[in-house]
A and B are shown apart, each in its own frame.
Chain A
Amino acid sequence: MTIHSERGSAVPAPVPDAAGRFGVYGGRFAPEALMAALDELTAEFEAARRDPVFTAELTELLTTYAGRPSLITEARRFGAEAGGARVLLKREDLNHTGSHKINNVLGQALLARRTGKTRLIAETGAGQHGVATATAAALLGLECTVFMGEVDTERQALNVARMRMLGAEVVPVKAGSRTLKDAVNEAFRDWVATVENTHYCVGSTMGPHPFPLMVREFHRVIGVEARAQVMELTGKLPDAVLACVGGGSNAIGAFHAFIPDTSVRLIGFEAAGDGVETGRHAATVTGGSVGVIHGMRTYLLQDEEGQTIESHSISAGLDYPGVGPEHSWLHDTGRAEYRPVTDAQAMEAFALLCRTEGIIPAIESAHALAGALQVGRELGPDATLLVCLSGRGDKDMHTAAAYFGLMPEGDAK
């Protein structure tokens, strides 16, 4: 697929190619049992995205249910702390269910229904994708099972309750590190056994082809809207687009419409946990190496024998040892930059946004906000930064309150 630009320029290499490869990344490293389903999904997705009935139905749901287009908020007081740069927040936190995840899930759920599937499964880290999937399943009358690492069910208990309230079954995964990567393994296992009636609603731009392409296409709306909104507001393109990167879905959605705009820097901020140098982090591009995980070739955290290294981040949503293959490709081609942000830097930015703008961000998004503080100070007061505020912080209040010592005596864990 060629990336089309409204300005008439086009990026030369079609990515992904027919085999789902972004350069050397992506592809399909999947059990044979899934290959027929992946072929079917690829064909159905290609047909659906060209079908005006499907796109109209998706657009209507995004508009009347999810709340699109999402707002752009100018963060003036926050910007003053970011070297005086003009900081524009793309408010994905205002979407129904509180994050960008709903864009992709509504698309995939409609596609699942179109292909006659009656059940959705999903993996989730922080619970945002699980809540979005449970929501779409309820809306479309589909069964729903969400796999979540046992550790994450504890730190995101509120989202577990939300999913159950919406009628989903939440399965705590006790294998391995009991976090997001193990939930992904478990979801694949379920899918292999149930592929006849089940669609695996993958939550990020990851997995075997066509998932990285499909998820990107459902999230492109973020950047397409934001580009037009920023142009209207400022009369020009932003100097940089900033987003947090775990698997990388909100980042690819925010970046994609700007890829042909070579004057716009695209910067992804990875979760550096205690610091990349400590080994306790989830900064896959910065601190990982190329390999195969969860059906794709990409950067991942692995040891000298190719065993996955467990990731660490204060943000359950970024706590994943891999990254979407398109980000690996954007990194290698130099079109996007990836930088690490530690837990401490993210939490500082988290608190700052609360105090300066009256917005409590998701801890994931706080990584991009920490990036805005850095980049704003580098580029100075003439710069305009577009920051994807990927989600709201309600789900993270327990973590944040404990971090800042705001819990009443005896309540802090």
Chain B
Amino acid sequence: MSVKAAYDRARAENRAALVGYLPAGFPSVDGAIEAATAMVEAGCDVIEIGLPYTDPMMDGPTIQDAVHRALVGGVHLADVFRTVEAVAATGAETLVMTYWNPVDHYGVDTFARDLASAGGTGLITPDLTPEEAGPWLEASDAHGLDRVFLVALSSTDERLDKITSVSRGFVYAASLMGVTGARTAIDTGAPRLVERTRAVLDKNGRDLPVGLGLGVSDGAQAAEVAGFADGVIVGSAFIRRLLDAPDTASGVAAVRALAADLAAGVRAGRG
């Protein structure tokens, strides 16, 4: 099973796929499962479960805050796998987004095995580039998992080639030179990055979707991104709903409403 199936279904409906991110264990292990389930029910095609880590180098204040609370709340790797299992049971393709050290420390092959047996589709690895990914390339092959690497505005064509040639599932385009967090405007370089990535994929005869992340916070922005990318990735805006809610139930309701707004956006994006 590959996350590409979700992209293909969206493509068949002439729309972009909607990808939602939440860290495991926030606001609680069960609360995260509830919120992710609501996201799927309201129209998210793919769910990224964040693995809470003490040194989230690429994350802005919203995700840092949520992850910190998850860790203080006592979340463990077993909870991450349990969350993946519960979310995957909804039928949505479920990936884990993680910094490299927890995987490295657990054992790359063992991690891949446990993720696959929990029903996970693959990993998104923001601080692992193809140069250091040897053990993960082997383990993901052995366990049939997707491997989603990031491309950035600053990536050269040579690097786009190297990154996309080892990617499986989809390619994660980081639309801004910056950390995660909702923005008011989508950077104008984003369409160009998606276009350059597609050109490299085409040149190599590879059919791989390109999802765009970092900064989308509402349906109108989702529509804008859906106009040129295969997938719209949203994280901080969902977390913000949970952080601002007085309790989990109202947080989950707000997450559901945002997912519905974004799902309408990805459908409106191509007119």
Contacts and interface: CB of A to CB of B under 8 A. Distances in A.
Interface of A: 19, 27-37, 175-176, 181-182, 185, 188-189, 192-196, 291-295, 302, 305-308
Contact of A294 (B53, B55, B71, B159): B55
* Interface-central residue, A36, A182, A292, by most chain B CB under 10 Å: A292
Contacts of B104: 291-292, 306
Interface in B133-190: 149-156, 159, 163, 174, 176-179
A189 B61 CA distance: 10
Contacts of B57: 31, 185, 188-189, 294
A291 B107 CA distance: 11
Contacts of A33: 150, 152-154, 174, 177
B76 A28 contact: no
A31 B58 contact: yes
B258 to A, nearest CB: 25
Contacts of A188: 57-58
Given A192-B178, A306-B105, A29 B154 contact: no
Contacts of A32: 129, 149-152, 154-155, 159, 163, 174
Contact of B55 (A36, A185, A195): A185
B127 interface: yes
15 contacts: A19-B131, A27-B131, A30-B127, A32-B159, A36-B152, A36-B155, A188-B57, A193-B179, A194-B177, A195-B154, A195-B177, A293-B101, A305-B76, A306-B101, A307-B53
Given A19-B131, A31-B58, A305 B106 contact: yes
Interface of B: 53-61, 64, 68, 71, 76-77, 100-106, 126-129, 131-132, 149-156, 159, 163, 174, 176-179
Contacts of A27: 131-132
B165 to A, nearest CB: 14
Given A294-B55, A306-B104, 16 more contacts: A19-B131, A27-B132, A31-B150, A31-B152, A32-B163, A35-B154, A35-B155, A181-B55, A189-B57, A192-B178, A291-B101, A291-B105, A292-B100, A305-B102, A306-B102, A306-B103
Contacts of A36: 152, 154-156, 159
A196 B177 contact: yes
Given A31-B152, A292-B100, A306-B105, A189 B77 contact: no
A195 B159 CA distance: 18
Contacts of B153: 33
A189 B106 contact: no
Contact of A308 (B55, B131, B151, B176): B55
A21 B128 CA distance: 15
Contacts of A295: 127
Contact of B100 (A29, A35, A308): A29
A302 B126 contact: no
A308 B67 CA distance: 14
A307 B71 contact: yes
Contacts of B151: 32
A185 B103 CA distance: 19
Contacts of B53: 306-307
Contacts of B100: 29, 292
A144 B163 CA distance: 34
A175 B56 CA distance: 10
A182 to B, nearest CB: 8
A182 B64 CA distance: 11
Contacts of A305: 76-77, 102, 105-106
Contacts of A291: 101, 104-105
Contacts of A194: 177
Given A291-B104, A306-B106, A192 B127 contact: no
Nearest to B159: A35
B54 A192 contact: no
A192 B175 CA distance: 12
A302 B105 contact: yes
Given A291-B105, A292-B101, A31 B127 contact: yes
A95 to B, nearest CB: 31
A376 B148 CA distance: 54
> Sorted from nearest, which 7 A-B pairs have the closest CB atoms?
A306-B105, A33-B152, A193-B178, A306-B102, A36-B154, A308-B54, A292-B101
A293 B55 contact: yes
A176 B159 contact: no
Nearest to A186: B57
Contacts of B155: 32, 35-36
Contacts of B176: 193
Contacts of B61: 175
B132 A28 contact: yes
Contacts of B76: 305
B60 A189 contact: yes
B211 to A, nearest CB: 14
A338 to B, nearest CB: 21
A31 B125 CA distance: 9
Nearest to B126: A31
B127 A307 contact: no
Given A29-B127, A36-B155, A307 B54 contact: yes
* Interface-central residue, B53, B106, B150, B177, by most chain A CB under 10 Å: B177
A306 B56 CA distance: 13
Nearest to B133: A29
A307 B102 contact: yes
Contact of B129 (A30, A302, A307): A30
A188 B60 CA distance: 11
Contacts of A175: 61, 64, 68
